[in-house]
Structure 1
Amino acid sequence: MIRQLFLISVICTLGVAVKAQNTNKSLPYAEIPAYPEVYNAGTVAARMVDGLGFRFYWATEGLRDEDLKYRPNTEARSSEETIDHIYEMSIMIANAVKKEANGRTEGLTFQQKRAATLNNLKVVADILRNSSDQDMENYQIKFGNGTSFPFWNLINGPIADCLWHCGQIVSFRRASGNPFNSNVSVFNGKLRE
């Protein structure tokens, strides 16, 4: 009986692990895409977003509940609150290139926020990669009150802020005992062999 229960638990665990691996393989940015052949405003901005997507993918890959709850002190955001912030900024970035106004977001699980963030960034990079220099003027951050800001603010605002916060997640996960995968090469945009 104990042997059968052990075998059943092993099979269930393997099934969950395989499902998790399949889910992650469908997410963008496990590797950074090949770089474009031309340099222009759109391809350079797209590469910045691709770099962000790659960093976010690996900063959040394999986070446990205790990692998500970790905060260095009572005044700091937890890792999960930081991920919420990145998710909301990914919506702002996506809305700018889709030429849509920003609105409120709804509650999602960590895995849903992670997937939505990565997919938002992929949509942004794909749009930017296929943009002309003239298109960049039309990508503005728009708020419901009629306020708007040019693409420049998107770079030094939400995109740079997301990169900053990816570093925080990496630092927090190290502090909570689940370090960043040492085989990740952010320089090459892929896992080291």
Structure 2
Amino acid sequence: MNSRKTIFFILFLLSFVGITNAQDLPFREMPPFAKAYTSGTLMGRMSDGLGFRFYWATEGLNVDNLNFKAGEESRTIGETVDHIYTLVLMFTNAVMEQPTTFPIETKDLTFIEKRSKVLSFIQTASALLKMSNDEDFERYNLVSQFAGGNGQKLPFWNGLNGPLEDALWHIGQVVTLRRMAGNPINPKVDFMNGRINK
């Protein structure tokens, strides 16, 4: 593992400690954009957008909201956040060149801890992607390991149309569900400019 990977592996491990102070959480606002368009900076910016949307989709949720669901057959907001956690972890592990081992257990984590970890995972993926060149993406495989020794390995392309896009899909569901639950997101969030209006 080169020094770049070592630094971000440490950052990734620290994300498991969690950040409980909301002021310390990343993606309250979008970070500055890169000066050049490359495959790495484009993917990093997409990850930043994911983090920004997740931050505001989950900011201010309460226990009643987490238990809310649209109908008997649907997931609760809390269960949807758990699913987003898994998807983001899969995507970040691909960029970290690490396998994702299933099942992923989140039941011992509080909502605040899960939210913190998801944002930290995205921050790690974004930072690595921004430093990536075209050849690096050949190594960013989506590797899944299941109980009993079964597993699969898919190229990074599948990470885009799979976990990354699926996470965005479910973040949109959280936004809709929380509106239905009577707690819509902050109307001052400016998604075009990636900031919170005063």
Q: TM-score, normalised by structure 1?
A: 0.87
2:5 aligned residue: none
Do residues 165 (structure 1) and 170 (structure 2) align?
A: yes
Do residues 156 (structure 1) and 161 (structure 2) align?
A: yes
2:90 aligned residue: 92
Aligned pairs for 1:50-65 (under 5 A) are: 50-65=48-63
In structure 2, stretches of 5+ residues that fail to align are: 1-19
- Identity within the alignment, %: 43
Which of 92, 101, 114 is 2:99 aligned to?
101
Do residues 192 (structure 1) and 190 (structure 2) align?
A: no
User: Which amino acid in 2 is paired with 1:133?
Assistant: D
Runs of 4+ in 1 over 3 A off after TM superposition: none
Which of 19, 23, 26 is 2:24 aligned to?
26
Which protein has the bigger helix share? 1
User: Which amino acid in 2 is paired with 1:58?
Assistant: W
1:134 aligned residue: 135
Instruction: Work out the number of aligned pairs and report it.
Output: 172
In structure 1, stretches of 5+ residues that fail to align are: 1-21
TM-superposed deviation, 1:105: 2.5
Query: 1: distance between equivalents of 2:167 and 2:192?
Result: 18
Q: TM-score, normalised by structure 2?
A: 0.84
Which digits, 9 at most, give the CA deviation of each residue in 1:75-109, with x for residues without a partner?
A: 00000000000001111011101111111323311
User: Which amino acid in 2 is paired with 1:105?
Assistant: I
Instruction: Select the structure of larger CA radius of gyration.
Output: 1
Query: 2: distance between equivalents of 1:67 and 1:180?
Result: 12
Query: 2: distance between equivalents of 1:97 and 1:167?
Result: 24
1:16 aligned residue: none
